[in-house]
Amino acid sequence: MLRKVLFAAAAAMALSVGSAAVAPVSAATLRYANQGDLKSLDPYTLNETTTNAHLGNVYEGLTKRDKDLKIIPGLAESWEIVEPTRWRFHLRKGVKFANGEDFTADDVLFSADRVRAQGSNFQTRVPKDAKFVKVDDYTVDVVLATPNPILHYQWDTWYIMSKKWAEANNATQPTPASAATPSYASLNANGTGPFKIESHQPGVKTVFKPNPGWWGKPEHNLTEVIFTPINSDSTRVAALLSGEVDIIEPVPLQDIQRVNQSQNAQVLTGPELRTIFLGMDQSRDELLESNVKGKNPFKDKRVREAFYKAIDVEAIKSRVMRGLSTPSALMIAPELFALSKDFTRPKADPEAAKKLLAEAGYPNGFEVGMDCPTDRYVNDGPICQAVVGMLARVGVKVNLNAQPKAQYFAKVLKPNGYKTSFYLLGWTPGTLDSHNVLYDIMGCRDDATARGETNLGGYCNKQLDALTDKILVETDADKRNQMIKQAFQIGIDDYGYIPLHQQSLAWGVAKNVKVVQRADNQVLLYWIRKD
Amino acid sequence: MLAFILRRIFQSIVVLLCVGVIAFALFRLVGDPVNQIVSIDTPYEQRMQIRKELGLDDPAIVQFGRYLAKAARFDFGISYQFRQPVASLIGERMPATLELTFVAALFSLVIGIPMGVFTALRRRSFLSGVFMTVSLIGVSLPTFLIAILLRYIFSVQLGWLPSFGRGQVVQLGWWSTGLLTASGLKALILPSITLGLFQMTLIMRLVRAEMLEVLRTDYIKFARARGLSDRAVHFGHALKNTLVPVITIAGLQLGSIIAFALITEYVFQWPGMGALFLGAVQNVDIPVMAAYLLLVSFIFVVVNLVVDVLYAVVDPRLRANLQAA
């Protein structure tokens, strides 16, 4: 008897402790954890997915993107191209900033200046020479130097700020990293969006509340959102499994099964827009890290083709990515290019690769160094290790230099002189358009313009560049797509790059929460419902 | 005594300067901060502009000199990541770290000393065997593993304790405390056990060894011969004399608990200085790294000083030595 009573008491205690530990929150409080911090609330400080997503709940652009990434009206109700170099934007009326001020054309003009100012990381959102002209309080004309059919493609994340608020708080300029005084706009936000920020402690916690004065009709049913950055993978997963948070991003690949087997959460996966690829130094006359002296093997197309054929992306998908990747034939995600299904990736063929190497004069292969980040993309380090193994089978000895992203990017990017021979990189075109890839990644490097600036291997084909320039100004969608297809085909025929795959999104979501997973990996609160 | 303290303060300044020089020499190897400040598709000119503005192209010694000149006026600069003053960032995070380390240190002393005494007095009892085994585990398992284990049991499986964060905090002036709310106290349990376990086992083993030593000395035998109670002998005479080395170790360990709380903070997403520092390393946030390193070395220096002074209080022989010196 006594034992029974004791047991009951212990059980009751355990229960009471248990129920108290999971804090009693009302149904519509959403707790969300991300690997990344929300560092600054200034919408022009850092152009990075997580930051843009967070601020997209609070601020809005002239355009928005819907659940399928299609461009829809935002703060601009409609727009038209009056003449090829003059766009007219009709602004939404009756929109108020969170502090109650009216949104007008002055705010657009102000934001256009601020986003292009020193210290902004979004300077390329608006062409340097574009002039913004106020026609009336709710009409703005944008006058361009040259026609630009994709002018507004990135404007969903060019957030409009209030002129009066910025002036009143001495925040008319974005705060550069070298500033000597802290910035008001990095701790406070005043947008027109569906949420406002109640409190923000950088790197610790941010609380969002719905903005009652929002112009749209809310799809969400939330009354509060508590965001916490949780850097450690295992902690993030534990927090989801124990019911302390409702959404986590990302779920590490190795924990997906565990989350799906749990009672209270599941993992939403889907293809991400980022393309992971390998690049080869084709510009130097002798590779920096190789035993081949006096010449650069990657200048020989047969060597690049051999590398392409030696790498088995299907094996990487099944062995390294646990099935969660989409092998890619193109340097852009299929979602972003209408004609992408015209391309298929040839199967791996190590025998052909060996033959090609022999023809190129390397029957016994050669040695080359490879640079690889270890904390930037999903399983980036293991992918590189797999590549090393696959190339070893055709006789190429790869000396892998896997390092944290801070060191990796310091080594391989332009400021350090592109010091790499063979590397892995991931790229999402900021404009969600092929031109960005063709210009920035596949264009010939050119110091006078920004062309090819992230073309770390210096692949170059002038024909492709000529097409890229035409693509920029072509306003007929079909013609434009045909030209993009042609340009990509040139890159493929040259074996300029080795595209690997699109990695997968993996969001951990509690079973009573419904989210919209957009392929650009933005967790947007205004589509979330919680039962 | 005063001369002694002055001498130590002078030594401390030298230590701080050395730490600063070494830190600034190492910052070059951490990576290029500009990559973390801007997105990857940022044009080259902008990157170079930022490098110039931040003075990253100057030699390490020039950068250090510039930093020192500012730090002397308690201006620790602006964090690259957050665009907020480093001093206020660290100030915001410090209460979290200090509370965690204080509770962990308390836990290790309150549990460690009695366990040490017990295992010394009842060497052959079964419970002593259990304590010794547990302490072996505590010494040999790495912190993060203990953390993951504890969290798996108590938050994921049982759901009793939170798996991350500080719970609800109360603001007392600039100090934020989790000691006044139920959720705050609960959030403290797992991290402080994780952080304090190693120290606890260390203290337990130390107390046990010292105690066994002292119990064999003549004055304990005489005390027994005088017919003093066991209690008076064990706690009044033996334990008191074991405390000198315990104070040294516990004191020195306090410094390292504060400095190495960063692993525990990382695993439990504890919003303290250590987590801030780790984030700064990942993002090459030099102003935060520099300030944290200086602060930690300062804490070490202060703790050492206090330990030295406490020595003198506990052990009269040392007091005499100090005066002679």
Q: Tens digit of pLDDT for each residue in B220-271?
A: 888 888 888 888 888 877 888 888 778 778 887 888 888 778 889 999 999 9
Query: Does residue B196 form part of some domain?
Result: yes
B160: nearest CB among A17, A234, A410: A17
Dihedral sign for Cα B89, B90, B96, B99, please. negative
Q: B227 and B283 in one domain?
A: yes
At residue B310, what is the residue type?
L
Confidence of residue A9 (pLDDT cuts 50, 70, 90): very low
Residues 6 or more apart in contact with residue B235 via CB below 8 angstroms? B117
Asked if B141 and B61 touch (Cβ cutoff 8 Å), the reply is no
Q: Has residue B15 been placed in a domain?
A: no
Probe site for chain B from A17, A51, A235 (most B CB atoms < 10 A): A235
| Res A450 pLDDT > 50 | yes
Contact list, A46 vs chain B (CB under 8 Å) = 37-39
Q: Nearest Cβ partner of A45 from B34, B55, B83?
A: B83
Structural domain contains residue B312 = yes
Top residue of A51, A158, A178 to mutate, by most chain B CBs within 10 Å, is A178
- pLDDT of B93 strictly over 70: yes
Span A347-396, pLDDT tens digits: 999 999 999 999 999 999 999 999 999 988 999 999 999 999 999 999 99
Expressed as residue numbers, the domain containing B177 is 92-324
Phi, psi of A59 (to 5 degrees): -105, 165
Q: Please state the φ and ψ torsions of residue A96, each to the nearest 5 degrees.
A: -120, 145
Domain assignment of residue B24, yes or no = no
Q: Are B186 and A21 a contacting pair at CB < 8 A?
A: yes
pLDDT at A7: 45
Determine, yes or no, domain membership for B111.
yes
pLDDT on residue A2: 43
Are the Cβ atoms of A46 and B37 closer than 8 angstroms?
Answer: yes
* Beta-bridge mates of residue A279: A423, A497
The pLDDT > 70 percentage for chain A reads 95
Tell me which chain B residue has its CA closest to the CA of residue A14: B160
Are the Cβ atoms of A450 and B155 closer than 8 angstroms? no
In this structure, the answer to whether residues B53 and B118 fall within a common structural domain is no
Give yes or no: residues B126 and B69 share one domain: no
How many Å lie between the alpha carbon of B21 and the closest alpha carbon of chain A? 21
Provide the pLDDT for residue A104.
Answer: 95
CA–CA gap between residue A365 and residue A508 (Å, rounded) = 44
In one-letter notation, the amino acid at residue B27 is F
- Which chain B residues are closer than 8 Å to A450 by Cβ? 43-44
CB contact under 8 A, A203 and B53: no
pLDDT tens-digit readout, B149-192: 999 999 888 989 998 988 888 888 888 888 888 888 999 999 99
Among A424, A419, A459, smallest CA distance to A443 is for A459
Residue-level pLDDT at B321 = 61
The pLDDT, as a whole number, for residue B224 is 84
Size of interface A-B (CB pairs under 8 A): 178
Asked if residue B297 and residue B210 are part of one domain, the reply reads yes
Tokens of A1: 């008897």
B62 in the same domain as B176: no
Would residue B149 count as lying in a domain?
A: yes
ipTM, two decimals, is 0.83
Quote the pLDDT of residue B8.
79
> Do B198 and B269 fall within a single domain?
yes
Q: Where are the alpha helices (DSSP H) in chain B?
A: 2-30, 33-37, 44-54, 60-71, 86-121, 126-140, 143-151, 182-215, 218-225, 230-231, 240-267, 273-282, 286-314, 316-324
Together in a domain, B67 and B213: no
Assigned token pair, B183: 């959720």
Mean pLDDT of B26-53: 82
Higher-confidence residue of A350 and B71: namely A350
Q: Per the structure, how many domains does chain B have?
A: 2
Chosen domain end from B44, B73, B102: B73
B35 domain-assigned: yes
Model pLDDT, residue B238:
82
Q: Is residue B6 part of a domain?
A: no
- Which residue among B46, B82, B159 places its CB closest to the CB of A22? B159
Distance between CA A187 and CA B82 in Å, rounded? 9
Question: Which one of A211-225, B23-37, B302-316 scores highest in mean pLDDT?
Answer: A211-225
Q: Do A228 and B83 touch (CB under 8 A)?
A: no
Domain shared by B69 and B141, yes or no: no
B170 and B303 part of one domain: yes
pTM of the model: 0.84
CA-CA distances (angstroms) from residue B102 to A524, B105, B163, B304? Answer: 40, 5, 20, 17
Alpha-carbon distance of A373 to B281, in angstroms, equals 16
